[in-house]
Structure 1
Amino acid sequence: MSQLEMAMATLIQTFDKYAGSDGKKSTLSKTEVKTLMEKELPGLLKAAKNPGEVDKFLKGLDFNGDAEVDFQEFVTLVVALTCAAHSRFCKQ
């Protein structure tokens, strides 16, 4: 597989690893998202100034308002974070 194909597979595997432990395998609950972020994005959580910011961030991920994060919403998060990281690295 190419690097991009491996990255795509990693996104799918990461989502699937955390989805379903609280119920549906097709979505992440609030608890599952927090666990995923603690394990996979610890730097992002450390950068948050208070826990309320994280809750607000998580609520913003739920575009359709169903109190869960589906794969499309998860990928949107990853894309937004990747764009922010790219901008930051380009400035350095």
Structure 2
Amino acid sequence: MSANLKGAMVDLIDVFHKYSGKEGDKYTLTKLELKNLLKNELGEFLEGPNDACVVEKIMRELDDNKDGVVDFQEFVGLVAALTVACNEFFKILARKSTGSKK
């Protein structure tokens, strides 16, 4: 494992715990904690992190076990999906800049 990937994993864990536990269980994110994380950490990737409806929708989609909070595994799903979307976006941009159709 490269130092960069290992560092990214540590950063992911650190970011989760920076927001978790302020309102309850330190191993989960409440809706308010999730909202703060989305706004502060992913605001430029997500439209409307301040919009209660957007946060509610993301919370519903992430909360696989329907316990009303987002645990680390559920959070990683969001990060993975956003990473895939960003990768696809950059692949499309690269194709456009080179004129390639692949």
TM, length-normalised to structure 1: 0.90
Q: Distance in 2 between matches of 1:88 and 1:54?
A: 23
Partner of 1:23: 24
Q: Partner letter of residue 59 of structure 1?
A: R
The alignment partner of 1:91 has SS state of helix
The alpha-carbon deviation at position 57 of structure 1 amounts to 1.9
The alignment partner of 2:45 has SS state of helix
Q: Which has the higher contact order (CA 8 A, sep 6+)?
A: 1
Q: Distance in 2 between matches of 1:17 and 1:53?
A: 22
User: Higher Cα Rg: structure 1 or 2?
Assistant: 2
Segments of 5+ residues of structure 2 without an aligned counterpart are 94-102
Q: Distance in 2 between matches of 1:32 and 1:62?
A: 14
Q: Distance in 2 between matches of 1:14 and 1:27?
A: 12
Q: Partner letter of residue 60 of structure 2?
A: K
Segments of 5+ residues of structure 1 without an aligned counterpart are none
Q: If each structure's helix is expressed as a fraction of its own residues, which one has the higher value?
A: 1
Partner of 1:59: 60
Identity among equivalent positions (%) equals: 46
Q: Distance in 2 between matches of 1:18 and 1:31?
A: 9
Q: Distance in 2 between matches of 1:21 and 1:29?
A: 9
Q: Which moved more, 1:55-64 or 1:29-38?
A: 55-64
Question: What is the number of residues matched between the two proteins?
Answer: 90
Partner of 1:75: 76
Partner of 2:86: 85
The alignment partner of 2:73 has SS state of helix
